[in-house]
Amino acid sequence: MLVRVLHGILALALVAFSTTSLAAKISAEDYQRVVNEAYRMFKDVDEGANADYIPILATVPSNLFGVAIVTRDGEVYAAGELDYEFSIQSVSKPFTASLIMQQQGPRTLREKIGVEPTGLPFNSKIAVEIYEERSVNPMVNAGAIAAVSLVEADSEKERWKQVLGNIEDYAGRDLKVLEDVYDSEYETAWGNRAIANLLFNYGRLYSEPEQALRVYTRQCSIGINTLDLAMMGATLANEGINPKTGKRVLAKEHIPELLAIMATAGFYDESGEWMYRAGLPAKTGVGGGIIAVVPGKFAIATFSPPLNPAGNSVRGLRAIGHIAAELGVGLYGPNAGE
């Protein structure tokens, strides 16, 4: 019930935000200034650690750090490491959720997966047992595996083709799977395999479990860079139209629901802290990526592998918090960024 209320509040905030200008128009100089500041302020932060439960992620250089803004008009402002391709991991989750919305509507997402935050870690198996809806929401592993299983397809090959094509449409370019990441992740996917089988047992998975697991793992292993993430977020900021290609990827009327889920569960069991800090719908991944969306305006993306205990990039969350505070773009009013 709480999240339904929050969805309504967020929807009102999006309407207000999209129909009014910022207190002062943000100039190109301001965009680049805050990006440069965020990079300079946090590039030497030596906290957190790379994820290692997927063994290959521990080998990614921990000093890498990129920051980018892409506006709804496609203007790019960036600093730091921008070309390094890392695995998208959980940042992929809202985009596959949007594919379900586009194919079957938001009601299917709510009824067959759920939209409530778990308050538990993203890979929790306990959540599947204690919540009646089982999958709970598409921003955690259980709901994301269920989302993959809901894609309208007659075969695993077709299911994967749709998942990849949808993410490519958001990024505005062809993408490929990092096969070494896929191998490392699939070979150690015992927790996710357990989740998939539990969901299937409860009637909350909509394809054969191992097929869903393989497609989900390939989805998480897609290689992207910081600029790709910013373009993906900017597509949501631009009401579902990719600013680079002009292609509509998601219907405008579905944007509020998707951003609401990101706001309430995009930072896992740290989502409340994140909204308190930055006030922006966002999504993180254990590969080190984060995207945050300023509806109707722009998106911010960061990449930095060292994570905090909740699985969120230490440098990234601080950088985005700083940018949101400096530009005064929190949905509920300017945040302090602290």
Binding residues for substrate are 90, 141, 185, 192, 216, 268, 286
> What does the DSSP 8-state code read for residue 81?
-
Give binding residues as ranges: 90, 141, 185, 192, 216, 268, 286
Strands of the sheet containing 282-284, edge to edge, are 76-80, 66-71, 298-303, 289-294, 282-284
**Proportion of the chain in helix, strand, coil states, percent, rounded to 5:** 50, 10, 35
**Can you read off the two tokens belonging to residue 90?**
């959980």
- Enter the DSSP assignment of 27: P
Determine contact, residues 85/94, Cβ cutoff 8 Å: no
Q: 286, 6 in Cβ contact below 8 A?
A: no
Q: First CA to last CA across the chain, in angstroms?
A: 29
3-state secondary structure of 69: strand
- Residue 84 CB coordination number (10 Å): 17
Can you give 238-271 as a three-state secondary structure string? CCCECCCCCCECCCHHHHHHHHHHHHHHCCHHHH
**What's the rounded Cα separation, in Å, for the pair 212 and 215?**
5
Closest of 125, 104, 114 to residue 201, by C-alpha: 125
